[in-house]
Amino acid sequence: ASPDLELLSPKARGLLHFVGVGLGGTIERVAAEDRLREAQKLESLGVLSGGLAHDFNNLLGVALGNVSLVQESLATDHPLQAELTCIQQAIERGAGLTRQMLAYAGKSTPETVTVDLNRVVLELSGLVSPSLGKMVELRCELGQPGPTVVGDPTQLQQVLLNLITNAHEAINGQPGVITLKVDSLSVAAGAEWDVVPGRYAWITCQDDGCGIAPDKLARIFDPFFTTKERGSGLGLSTVLGVVRSHKGDVRVRSTLGQGCSIEVLLPMVTETPRPVIGAGPLVYVVDDEQQLLRVASRMLERLGFEVCAAGDGQELLDRLEQDHREVAAVLMDLSMPRLGGLEASRRLFESRPELPIVLMSGYDREDSLREGVQPNVKHFLAKPFRLEGLRAAMQTAVELPA
């Protein structure tokens, strides 16, 4: 005990201890109340963000779907392709802003489009290199042909940016080199990677910085764990979360004083041949927004499906009772006034458990599917989406027409 406290009588020391404990409890209670208020604010922001995102993404979905259809119908060297690309990029920036708003509120939904990783690396390196300073060189080694994956381009770019930032901070103002490699890798059963066997895009970010101590290596992906004085501890945990959401894996190799190498695997995809329009399996598309219903129908026809449209879940169920043809799949919106997609999918599971369903929504996936889904729901498609995003989603439910 403090010498000053020893001079006090036992009764006085007891009273002081009581006051100290009471004050400590008050401080803890105030801190807890502050945390609760912040959580409530974030939850309110999330509810508001979800509603805005749904309506905004419906509008963007109509625009992006139509642009995607026009692009597909024109030759690649058509003069209008440049203007259409500008429109597409503007729409996608709007969708990106929506995703950022949802991410800030903790309600982000991964988009699924075909992503050329070589292109992402080249675009990002051009933006990042000037900010690294003259003492750090960023080298890009790109495999040929470049691997393609299905995922959210904004999130994948964030993964690469976080890896580069982590490497730059490890070099810590000294002369150094950051090497970003993109290649492909075949993973066999029983391999050290935590993924299913198959072909994967293989990204490696290597630096010659300070390295990571062995006792800290196992914790670097933990949220809020950091080895830096001013670090947030969220950079690498974000990397792991995004990669896992894309059905990939991350591995780290490091020697203290000799640098660090972080490797990322993402499932590769292959291009599919363009099908004959509207001559394939029968698919029902369901949405209460008529413009979205029309554009989604045209996109499915472009993928080669025969398409029937319904305005909500109840109309779908009524139509299916009378339609005795073989239905390959259902593409259905989640939020509809009379009968939404989640309840309709549950009823379909009772009557047609083998019928695969793809749900789509402008809301967040986690919020939308909080109550759970039946096994017949094969995929969640975030609005707005391009033709290749719809193609990837439908591939999870049904074999695409040849």
Higher pLDDT, 133 or 41: 133
**Euclidean distance between CA atoms 63 and 280, whole angstroms:** 26
- Please check whether residues 287 and 210 belong to one and the same domain: no
Q: Is residue 147 in a domain?
A: yes
Same domain, 297 and 192: no
Q: Which range (48-52, 246-250, 390-394) has the least confidence? A: 48-52
pLDDT digits (tens, 9 = 90+) for 96-153: 767 655 554 445 555 667 888 988 888 788 778 878 888 899 998 988 778 899 888 8
Go through 319-345 and write b for each residue having 16 or more CB atoms within 10 A of its CB, e for each that does not. Answer: ebeeeeeebbbbbbbbbbeebbbbebb
Judged against a pLDDT cut of 80, whether residue 365 lies above it is answered with no
Same domain for 172 and 72: no
Has residue 331 got a pLDDT over 90? yes
Higher pLDDT among residues 290 and 179, named by residue: 179
pLDDT digits (tens, 9 = 90+) for 164-196: 998 998 898 889 999 999 999 999 887 789 899
Query: Do 182 and 74 share a domain, yes or no?
Result: no
**Picking from 99-113, 283-297, 306-320, 356-370, which range would have the lowest pLDDT averaged per residue?**
99-113
Q: What pLDDT score does 357 carry?
A: 96
In a domain? residue 211? yes
Answer yes or no: is pLDDT of 20 > 50.
yes
Give the chain's domain count.
Answer: 3
Q: Using the CB atoms, write b or e for 23-55: b if 16+ within 10 Å.
A: eeeeeeeeeeeeeeeeeeeeeebbeebbeebbe
Res 231: pLDDT = 47
pLDDT at residue 17, rounded to an integer: 59
CA distance 206 to 177: 8
Is this structure's pTM higher than 0.75? no
Q: How far apart are CA 70 and CA 81, in angstroms?
A: 9
**Is 127 found in the same domain as 248?**
yes
DSSP 132: G
Is 27 inside any structural domain?
Answer: yes
- Tell me: do 263 and 145 sit in the same domain: yes
Under a CB-based contact definition with an 8 Å cutoff, are residues 65 and 88 in contact?
Answer: no
- Whether residue 277 lies inside any domain: the answer is no
The verdict on residue 385 lying in a domain is yes
The beta-strand segments (E) located in 188-313 are 198-207, 249-255, 259-267, 282-286, 306-310
Q: Are 362 and 229 within one domain?
A: no
Rank 41-45, 150-154, 199-203, 268-272 by mean pLDDT and report only the highest.
199-203
**Predicted local confidence at residue 232, as pLDDT:** 44
Q: Are 252 and 212 in contact (CB under 8 A)?
A: yes
99 lies in some domain: yes
246 and 218 belong to one structural domain? yes
pLDDT of residue 183: 94
Domain boundary among 104, 138, 164: 104
- pLDDT at position 360: 92
Tokens found for residue 303: 């993928």
Q: Are residues 257 and 288 in the same domain?
A: no
| Per-residue pLDDT at 384 | 87
Per-residue confidence at 21, pLDDT binned at 50, 70, 90? Answer: low
> Does the residue 54 lie in any domain?
yes
**Whether residues 60 and 36 fall in one domain:** yes
Q: Which of 34-43, 63-72, 303-312, 316-325 comes out lowest in average pLDDT?
A: 34-43
Last-in-domain residue among 85, 104, 123: 104
Least confident of 130-134, 340-344, 365-369: 365-369
Domain carrying residue 377: 282-395
Can you list the pairs that 46-53 forms with residues at least 24 positions away whose Cβ atoms lie under 8 Å?
Answer: 46/102, 46/105, 46/106, 46/107, 46/367, 49/101, 49/102, 49/104, 49/105, 49/107, 50/102, 50/107, 50/363, 50/364, 50/367, 52/98, 52/101, 53/98, 53/101, 53/102, 53/362, 53/363, 53/364
Q: Does the pLDDT value for residue 226 go beyond 70?
A: no
Q: What is the average per-residue pLDDT within 324-343?
A: 92
Q: In terms of domains, do 259 and 331 share one?
A: no
Write the pLDDT tens digit of every residue in 55-81: 777 788 888 888 888 888 888 888 888
Tell which wins on pLDDT, 284 or 256: 284
- Looking at 267, 296, 321, the residue that finishes a domain is 267
Identify whether 275 is part of a domain.
no
Q: Which two tokens stand for residue 274?
A: 């363009």
Closest-CA residue to 122 (of 151, 92, 97, 143): 143
Given this model, what pLDDT does residue 34 score?
A: 61
| Token pair of 369 as six digits | 């599917």
The whole-number pLDDT of residue 91 equals: 84
Q: Angle, nearest 10°, between helix axes 80-104 and 10-73?
A: 160
Q: What's the mean pLDDT in 278-283?
A: 77
Asked if residues 195 and 247 have their Cβ atoms less than 8 Å apart, the reply is yes
pLDDT band at 5 (very low <50, low <70, confident <90, very high): very low
In whole angstroms, how far apart are CA 248 and each of 47, 115, 268, 390? 30, 15, 10, 21
Predicted local distance difference test score (pLDDT) of residue 178? 93
**Which pLDDT band, with edges at 50, 70 and 90, does 28 fall under?**
low
pLDDT(275) > 50? no
pLDDT at 181: 94
Looking at the fold, whether 57 and 17 belong to one and the same domain comes out as yes
pLDDT at 202 over 90: yes
What strands lie across the sheet with 327-333, from one edge to the other?
A: 306-310, 282-286, 327-333, 357-361, 377-382
Predicted confidence (pLDDT) at residue 312 exceeds the cutoff of 70: yes
Residue 306's nearest CA partner among 277, 333, 330, 331 is 277
